[in-house]
Amino acid sequence: MLSSLFSQIFFYFSNSAKGKKGLEKREGVKGTFRAESKQKRGRYLRVKASGNLQQRDPLFSSPQQEEEEEAIQMDSNNGSQEMSVPVEGVAGGGTAYGFNDGGLNSQPLKQSTDPTEVPTSDLVHVWCIPNTLNVGSQETPRPLETINLLAARNERESFQIAMRPKVSWAGSTPSGSVQVQCTDLCSSDGDRLVVGQSLKLRRVVPVLGVPDALVPLDLPLTQLSLLPGETSVIWVSIDVPNGQPPGQYEGEITVSAMKTDGGCSDNLGKHEKDQLCMELKNCLDIMEPIEGKPMDEVVERIKCASSSLRRILFSPSFAEFISTNGSSDMMEEDVVSNLAVRIKLRLTVWEFIIPVTPSLPAVIGVSDTVIEDRFGVEHGSEKWYEKLDLHFKWLLQYRISPYFCKWGENMRVLTYTSPWPADHPKSDEYFSDPRLAAYAVPYRQVIAGDDSREIYLRKEVEILRSKPHWNKAYFYLWDEPLNMDHFQNVRKMASEIYAYAPDARVLTTYYCGPGDAPLAPTPFESFVKVPNLLRPHTQIYCTSEWVLGNREDLVKDIVEGLQLENREEWWTYICLGPTDPHPNWHLGMRGTQHRAVMWRVWKEGGTGFLYWGANCYEKATVPSAEVRFRRGLPPGDGVLYYPGEVFSSSSEPVASLRLERLLSGLQDYEYLKLYESKFGREEAMGLLEKTGVYMGPERYTLEHRPIDVLRGEVYNACRPS
């Protein structure tokens, strides 16, 4: 069967390589993406796929600042252990990550490249980088320094480890394998942050040439193959539990080059065997039901099977056959201790606890249609419920409030947070979860039943209104109405809801007024008057950040026009736009640009945020099929995570760097809320601008260090005396 499968794959790719190349050219599937540069107020922002800064912004750097940074770096190297108040960016953050200007002077390589005889540092460059940098395959090595992090309880903090081989020690491609091992982080009082629970490693995998997917690695010990002339990256994240005792925690991560010398091919552990078995079974499951299928689906299945077999072939289990026809043994502990590169990690956990329930409801859509198509689950089946449950629970860790959605005619949208009816125990479990800040109530049945729409709606509302979580509920009925008929439909549907629940909240997204009945002479003025058209049939006015542009004066007008006595709120959303240099989550934008989405929300004063889709890639009918972004959309728009099956046999979703930065932004929001609660909004606004983190949608930090300074200021000002 497998030899036949290989023959099919070889035949397909050998005969379609030229066509595939042309298709990729037409669809823009290339190694890198470059965001369009814009000139704003004499400033240029340009982003490459690698995320490297092409030109330092004079707003955020100067010769004097560079001298200060050098002085801070010298202080951090010489006296970091004696600091009474640990602050990121001082022996941490932008300096201690090795994120400083200048190259790295490599020492001459020794004659031997045997990992059991020479230090790993002679074979591999290893350095650390902040989580806001996109590290491309050609990233230049930096010095390795101790990592100092600061985190509140119930917070996730992260950084990156980059590795680049200096020479091949495997005899052929790849350059060689490294073994990465983590220890628990321990305090002087004996408290621990445990590897695999709090501390996790994920490999950064490029998507369209841009670092984005974060594929989980085995812990506490994992192996990676390094390619010659390329930088490989590991994303390290630390989750601090709510009840973790405050204090300083220390641990280390060791990187060791591995020797290949034959002899262990029969020593696969149970986990590796299970992994291989699952991968091979996946190939058979993909290929066996091929008879009678349309040609497009056959091609897709062959490509998926090829990807699975390639993953098996280049997995660590077969590294010896790909490299030197030998085997890769785990190195002896004493060799690791003496020759390994050791990354010292210090984390200060402080007394502040980030609220379990997010202060900002960030509601993000998940397409149930995409799940049904890719995973082959029938709407309403037991497996369908299982898949939706998996995605919902996985997304809660990112401080977002997921809702499932299905688009209808003219952008009418069915949204629901729970696929079960309101009287089902699972619905109460979902809505009562303290991590959920808001939930969508469906206007009609998600699963067809005997009740009419009116009877169903009345029952749902009556049940939910009796629950303590009713204040989280909202109805999202229509996405971006464009004409008077659309707006009238919103008003009619809202009226039906109010008949059963006068205190219900209806959310409406919009970026313009009705095109067939202008509300004002210009489109912009018409946009401003939309609340008058929707009132009182909408309580949450959700406007596009793209329309707002740089108009902070308009933001003030919108907020001042709200009727707070009628429970009106102002939320914002991003979709397609705004584009560079404004904050968004497009692939290829710099990390601070991703994180700045939530800085903007806080500064503008919105009380909620919406994003249209987290899994809205092109249709596929096989779980492991290549992920393609939707045509006509900027790369990454509508996609914040990937199916796990694309990268391994795991069914757990794979996060993107952009999703992690979304989480970091939401955590920054909580820091600003804490500072605001103690010193007032004006003082908090001043801190955001004084540290150089965020002044406006075109004026925010391009580097990591100001973020560390902001967090350190909040830590110093708000910690108990």
User: What is the pLDDT at residue 572?
Assistant: 97
* Tens digit of each residue's pLDDT (9 = 90 or more) over 572-603: 999 999 999 999 999 999 999 999 999 999 99
User: What is the pLDDT at residue 50?
Assistant: 32
User: What is the pLDDT at residue 92?
Assistant: 29
Q: How confident is the model at residue 653 (pLDDT cuts 50, 70, 90)?
A: very high
With a cut of 90, say whether residue 713 has pLDDT above it: yes
d(CA 263, CA 329): 8
CB 415, CB 369: distance < 8 Å: no
Q: How confident is the model at residue 317 (pLDDT cuts 50, 70, 90)?
A: low
Tokens for 227, please give them. 């390619």
Residue 132 lies in a domain: yes
Q: How confident is the model at residue 337 (pLDDT cuts 50, 70, 90)?
A: low
Beta-carbon count within 10 A of 105 CB: 6
Beta-carbon count within 10 A of 336 CB: 19
With a cut of 90, say whether residue 647 has pLDDT above it: yes
User: What is the pLDDT at residue 171?
Assistant: 65
Name the phi and psi angles at 551, rounded to 5: -80, 80
d(CA 153, CA 579): 34
Alpha-carbon torsion angle 38, 44, 48, 52, nearest 10: -160
Residue 473 lies in a domain: yes
Residue type, 102: G
User: What is the pLDDT at residue 417?
Assistant: 98
d(CA 249, CA 227): 34
Same domain for 346 and 410? no
Same domain for 414 and 343? no
Q: How far is CA 284 from the centre of its chain?
A: 32
DSSP designation for 469? G
**Domain count of the chain?**
2
Mean pLDDT computed over every residue of the chain: 81
Residue 60 lies in a domain: no
Same domain for 601 and 549? yes
Ranking 110-119, 134-143, 160-169, 604-613 by mean pLDDT, the lowest is: 110-119
* Tens digit of each residue's pLDDT (9 = 90 or more) over 48-89: 233 333 333 322 233 344 444 433 333 333 333 332 333 333
Q: What is the mean pLDDT of residues 637-666?
A: 96
Same domain for 347 and 366? no
Same domain for 475 and 577? yes
Position with higher pLDDT, 310 vs 250: 250
CB 417, CB 402: distance < 8 Å: yes
Residue 371 lies in a domain: yes
Tokens for 49, please give them. 């796929």
Which CATH number do you get for residue 145? 2.60.40.10
CA distance readout (Å), 449 to 403, 430, 445: 21, 22, 7
* Tens digit of each residue's pLDDT (9 = 90 or more) over 90-136: 222 332 332 232 344 444 455 678 888 899 999 999 999 999 999 99
Same domain for 254 and 206? yes
With a cut of 90, say whether residue 318 has pLDDT above it: no
- CB neighbours of 278 closer than 8 A, spacing ≥ 6? 649
* Tens digit of each residue's pLDDT (9 = 90 or more) over 239-274: 999 999 999 999 999 999 988 654 344 445 555 666
pLDDT cut 90: percent of the chain above it: 64
Name the phi and psi angles at 439, rounded to 5: -135, 145
User: What is the pLDDT at residue 289?
Assistant: 67
Name the phi and psi angles at 382, rounded to 5: -60, -40
User: What is the pLDDT at residue 364?
Assistant: 98
User: What is the pLDDT at residue 313?
Assistant: 63
Same domain for 525 and 390? yes
Ranking 117-121, 358-362, 678-682 by mean pLDDT, the lowest is: 117-121
* Tens digit of each residue's pLDDT (9 = 90 or more) over 456-501: 999 999 999 999 999 999 999 999 999 999 999 999 999 999 999 9
Which CATH number do you get for residue 371? 3.20.20
Q: Where are the beta strands (DSSP E) in 265-388?
A: 341-353, 362-367
Same domain for 348 and 448? no
d(CA 258, CA 610): 47
* Tens digit of each residue's pLDDT (9 = 90 or more) over 373-418: 999 999 999 999 999 999 999 999 999 999 999 998 888 999 999 9
Prior bond to 174 cis, omega within 30?
A: yes
Same domain for 344 and 455? no
User: What is the pLDDT at residue 316?
Assistant: 54
| Nearest in space to 399 (alpha carbons), one of 437, 431, 427 | 437
Which residue segment(s) compose the domain that 243 sits in? 120-259+338-353
pLDDT cut 70: percent of the chain above it: 75
Residue type, 164: R
User: What is the pLDDT at residue 308?
Assistant: 64
Q: Where does a domain end: 353, 384, 418?
A: 353
Q: Where does a domain end: 353, 379, 412?
A: 353
User: What is the pLDDT at residue 426?
Assistant: 97
- In DSSP terms, 540 is beta-bridged to 507, 569
Q: Where does a domain end: 308, 329, 353?
A: 353
- In DSSP terms, 367 is beta-bridged to 405
Q: How confident is the model at residue 332 (pLDDT cuts 50, 70, 90)?
A: very low
Edge-to-edge order in the sheet of strand 506-510: 413-416, 401-407, 362-367, 609-611, 569-574, 540-544, 506-510, 473-479, 439-440
User: What is the pLDDT at residue 148?
Assistant: 94
Same domain for 384 and 500? yes
Largest Cα–Cα separation, the chain? 83
d(CA 361, CA 508): 15
Name the H helices within 39-128.
63-79, 93-96
Same domain for 379 and 348? no
- In DSSP terms, 346 is beta-bridged to 148, 250
Q: Coil, strand or helix: which one is 476?
A: strand
Residue 64 lies in a domain: no
Residue 200 lies in a domain: yes
d(CA 222, CA 214): 15
User: What is the pLDDT at residue 338?
Assistant: 81
User: What is the pLDDT at residue 260?
Assistant: 67
Residue 293 lies in a domain: no
d(CA 11, CA 302): 10
Consecutive H or E run containing 297: helix 295-313
Residue 512 lies in a domain: yes
User: What is the pLDDT at residue 33?
Assistant: 28
